[in-house]
Amino acid sequence: MKTVKEKIKRFSKTVSIALLVGAGLMTFAMFLYLIQHRGFYAQVFELGDTQAMFRHSIWIIGRIGLILLLVYGASVFRAIEANENPFVAAIPRRMKKAAVFLFFTVAIPQWMYTLLDNSAKFALFDQTTGLVLILSVTICCFAQFYEYGYLLQDENDEIL
């Protein structure tokens, strides 16, 4: 049993570090993009092109949301690492929050882009938002499994 806990701890630590590195790289890439395009932003603001300003604001907000999601995901794995066990009361709640946050982090910018594009018809669920919805529901289902596992483990501990 001890080796399983060690594997869980090691894997959780690895995943949390990978997610934090991904968040750091995404932050760095976003800042590089903003620095490279600062002349474009100055020109857009000078011309008063509100649609272009709105599009880039949506892009920035979407990237910040993804970075926060990666950091939140890392905190979930850090909690698993700290407990050496994924079957803890806090983990399923955090997974469900992450699933909802994932859906809205991807869906809201997608919906805003669609609304800005005059030639496209607005669809509540296009291919991207549909796939993210399926992924979010799947994560929620896994959270339910973890919650059930936590309850079984808790019941087993009471019996012993």
pLDDT digit string (tens) for 113-137?
877 776 556 677 788 888 999 999 9
Regarding whether 118 and 49 lie in a shared domain, the answer is: no
Provide the domain count of the chain.
Answer: 2
Which of 81, 110, 136 lies at the terminal end of a domain, its last residue?
Answer: 81
Regarding whether 117 and 70 lie in a shared domain, the answer is: no
CB 41 within 8 A of CB 103: no
Regarding whether 26 and 69 lie in a shared domain, the answer is: yes
Does pTM top 0.85 for this prediction? no
For the chain, the straight-line distance linking the first and the last C-alpha, in angstroms and rounded, comes to 17
Regarding whether 94 and 70 lie in a shared domain, the answer is: no
Regarding whether 58 and 103 lie in a shared domain, the answer is: no
Regarding whether 48 and 63 lie in a shared domain, the answer is: yes
Using alpha carbons, select from 131, 136, 138, 76 the residue that is nearest to residue 102: 136
Regarding whether 151 and 122 lie in a shared domain, the answer is: yes
Regarding whether 5 and 76 lie in a shared domain, the answer is: yes
- pLDDT (tens digit, 9 = 90+) per residue, 76-97? 999 999 988 888 889 999 999 9
Low-confidence ranges of the chain (pLDDT < 50): none
Q: What are the φ/ψ torsions at residue 87 (nearest 5 degrees)?
A: -95, 70
Q: Maximum distance among all alpha carbons in the chain?
A: 72
Q: What is the pLDDT of residue 74?
A: 96
Regarding whether 58 and 2 lie in a shared domain, the answer is: yes
Which of 81, 113, 146 lies at the terminal end of a domain, its last residue?
Answer: 81
Say how far apart CA 21 and CA 31 lie, in whole Å.
15
Regarding whether 99 and 70 lie in a shared domain, the answer is: no
Regarding whether 75 and 16 lie in a shared domain, the answer is: yes
| Domain range enclosing 124 | 86-160
Which of 50, 81, 112 lies at the terminal end of a domain, its last residue?
Answer: 81
